[in-house]
Amino acid sequence: MFEEDFEKLTRGEQAQFHKVVSDLLYRCYIVRRMYDRATKMNKISADYLFIEKHFDLISDYLSFAGMEVSKDDDNGVVFLTSEDETNRIRIDGVTTLILYALRSFYEEKLKDNPSVNEIYCDSTSLKVLLKDLGLTTVTRRISALSLASSLRTLSMYQIVVPAKGSFGENSYAFFILPSIRYVISNAKLNALYSAIKEINEGEDDEEGLFNGDAEKEDEGEKEEESSPAETEGTEDNIPEEGNEVPSEAEDVNQGDAK
Kindly list the domain boundaries of the chain, sorted by start residue.
Answer: 2-88, 91-253
Q: What percent of the chain has pLDDT over 90?
A: 52
Q: How far apart are CA 102 and CA 98, in angstroms?
A: 6
Question: Which pLDDT belongs to residue 121?
Answer: 97
Please identify every stretch of the chain with a pLDDT value under 70, giving residue numbers as ranges.
85-89, 202-258
Just give the CATH number of 2-88. 1.10.10
Question: Which pLDDT belongs to residue 56?
Answer: 95
Question: Which pLDDT belongs to residue 195?
Answer: 84
Query: Which residues are within 8 A (CB) of 118 and not within 5 positions of it... i.e. 6 or more apart?
Result: 33, 35, 42, 161, 175, 176, 177, 178
Q: How many residues does the chain have?
A: 258
Q: How far apart are CA 177 and CA 89, in angstroms?
A: 21
Question: Which pLDDT belongs to residue 194?
Answer: 85
Question: Which pLDDT belongs to residue 216?
Answer: 38
Question: Which pLDDT belongs to residue 126?
Answer: 96
Question: Which pLDDT belongs to residue 44?
Answer: 94
